Amino acid sequence: MSISVRDVAALAGVSVGTVSNVLNRPEKVTPETVGRVQAAIDSLGFVRNDVARQLRAGRSRTIGLVVLDVGNPFFTDLARGAEDEAADANLTVILGNSDETIAREDAYLDLFEEQRVLGVLISPLADSMERLVRLRERGIPTVLVDRGTENGGFSSVSVDDVAGGHLAVAHLASIGRTRIAFVGGPQSIRQVADRLSGARRAVDQHDGVTLEVIEVESQSVLHGRTAGEAIRDRPESERPDAIFAANDLIAVGVLQALSMAGTLRVPEDIALIGYDDIDFASAAIVPLSSIRQPSALIGSRAVELLLREVEHGADFMHEHIVFQPQLVVRASTVGA
């Protein structure tokens, strides 16, 4: 069926071992033989079977990446960073999407185990640590992305989300807002919980500022819009004067809801700040203030850490990289 080293060897009049040497250690082979073998490869259109190669090697050249939501540009940027870095090391990335669901996360981890991936990068759900420990015990190095250091024994690359939440709310307070609403959820996602806790801390530092938590089911435009509609329909006295959305997708949804009404102005009536600073934030109906994270960098650094663990074994001291987020002020909080 398919052309194998055996066929190449036959045509070139050498043994299979030599063909393999030409492929992997050409310096060990006479230039003239290399030439003959190359000619045979070209004329047969031989393509090395990576599956067999991996079987022999006992280790694949693939990295598994599980993110919470591929629809979120933050994660596609992160994935792109990881892919580029992996490509440099001649590795491939399989991208899995857990949709914030344990079942899907598990399914991808199962798959990765069966594929004997080189390692796993994951932005895990709250309850998956046990599973990850098992993975590691099976010898698959794992690096947590977008998740902090508190977790024993894993390397991680993350952004200080508590600081980010603090930044956002301190900014809202600094422009004189006092009734702040946090729109986000589910709180079982650490990013959400941390951003909220940073927000709480900022509220505590500012007298007279209150925080209301509006929980949404998932971090999507749709759920943001639903939450925004609920806020819009409240009597004026019960409306917050500022909203901190747990990410930009939610913020965009809230913004849609608020501006569709036509009666509420952003930021005059309600200031709005998101999180992630995705490309579209600056192009929103009212350009969104946001908290910027170095998304691609997170991905590439995570791959670096992973490769280091692969080389030095899992006992290698685990490393934690924590980036600091950055406040980006636009019209949705400070007007035009």
Partner DNA sequence: CGAAGGCGGTGAATCGATGCAACGGCGTCG
Partner DNA sequence: CGACGCCGTTGCATCGATTCACCGCCTTCG
Q: How far is the CB of 313 from DNA (least distance, A)?
A: 18
Distance CA 3, CA 20 (A): 14
Residue 24: how many CB atoms within 10 A of its CB? 10
**Among DNA, its own copies, none, partner that 235 touches (CB below 5 to 8 angstroms by kind):** none
The answer to whether 228 and 253 are in contact (CB under 8 A) is yes
Residue 20 partner contact from DNA, its own copies, none using kind-dependent CB cut-offs of 5 to 8 Å: DNA
* Partner interacting with residue 128 (select from its own copies, DNA, none; CB below 5-8 Å by kind): none
The interface partner of residue 313, options being its own copies, DNA, none and the CB cut-off 5 to 8 Å by kind, is none
Q: Please say whether the beta carbons of 157 and 145 come within 8 A.
A: yes
Which residues have a Cβ under 8 Å from the Cβ of 127 and sit 6 or more positions away? Answer: 102, 188
Which of DNA, its own copies, none is residue 247 near (CB under 5 to 8 Å by kind)?
A: none
Choose, by CB under 7 A, the member of 11, 41, 48, 292 that binds DNA.
48
Residues with Cβ within 8 Å of 6's Cβ and at least 6 positions away in sequence, in order, are 16
Contact flag: residue 2 with DNA (CB under 7 A): yes
Shortest Å distance, C-beta 66 to DNA: 23
Task: Pick one of 10, 20, 129, 201: the residue that binds DNA (CB under 7 A).
Answer: 20
Does residue 5 belong to the site contacting DNA (CB under 7 A)?
Answer: yes
Between 77 and 194, whose beta carbon lies closer to its own copies? 77
Residue of the chain from 42, 43, 52, 261 that contacts DNA (CB under 7 A): 52
Strand (E) or helix (H) holding 159: strand 155-159
CB 199 within 8 A of CB 211: yes
Which one-letter amino acid corresponds to residue 234? Answer: R
Amino acid letter, 294: P
Helix (H) or strand (E) holding 205: helix 190-205
With respect to DNA, which residue has the nearer C-beta, 23 or 175?
23
Q: How far is the CB of 71 from its own copies (least distance, A)?
A: 6
Q: Which is nearer to its own copies, 75 or 154 (CB)?
A: 75
If we measure between CA atoms, which residue out of 198, 181, 201 comes closest to residue 190? 198
- The dihedral of CA 293, 198, 212, 267: what is its sign? negative
**Out of its own copies, DNA, none, which partner does residue 83 contact, by CB within 5 to 8 A per kind?**
its own copies
Binding residues for DNA, rule: CB under 7 A, are 1-2, 4-6, 13-21, 23-24, 28-30, 32-33, 46, 48-49, 52-53, 55-58
